[in-house]
Amino acid sequence: MLTLRREECCNRPSPRLEPMKHFLTRLVFPSLCVGVLFWFHWNSVEGRRGQQQIAQTEKQIVKAKSELDGLIAQRKILTHKVALLRSHALDPDLLGVQARKMLHHSHPDELIIYLPKQQVSQ
């Protein structure tokens, strides 16, 4: 008959825990690592500073730059018109056109064609 002392019985690992240790080391730990890697990958693509957010920000920058270019061109046109209306460089033809346009007057032999605001270049 085999007899064990109390210390030997308590220090010896239970045979039921061996499969559990094997399960934890072989399945749970790698699953946690894969989960952490997936979380980092998802944040690098979808997160606040991810690839999609960067692409959207770059599109907004391109749109803003094109709008800025249009506004700069419009400003140049308006600056040129203002320079022509100054007293030292007053263009009489431009002054007459602007006065008739603002007062809604025209000569009897003139034909006035109103264009939509989008088609007016100057």
Read off the tokens for 45: 């693509």
Q: In this structure, is residue 112 part of a structural domain? A: no
The structure tokens listed for 36 are: 């952490």
Domain span holding position 82? 24-103
Count: domains in the chain:
1
- Is residue 58 a part of any domain in this protein? yes
User: Which residue's entry shows tokens 């209306």?
Assistant: 85
Asked if residue 6 is part of any domain, the answer here is: no
Residue 28 domain flag = yes
Q: How confident is the model at residue 99 (pLDDT cuts 50, 70, 90)?
A: confident
> In this structure, is residue 32 part of a structural domain?
yes
- Asked, for residue 5, whether it belongs to a domain, the answer is no
Identify the residue with better confidence: 2 or 17: 17
Q: Is the pTM of this model over 0.75?
A: no
DSSP assignments along 77-119, one per residue: HHHHHHHHTSGGG--HHHHHHHHHHHHT---TT----PPPTTT
Summarize the confidence of residues 13-41 as an average pLDDT.
80
Domain membership flag for residue 84? yes
More confident residue, 24 or 26: 26
Q: Is residue 120 domain-resident? A: no
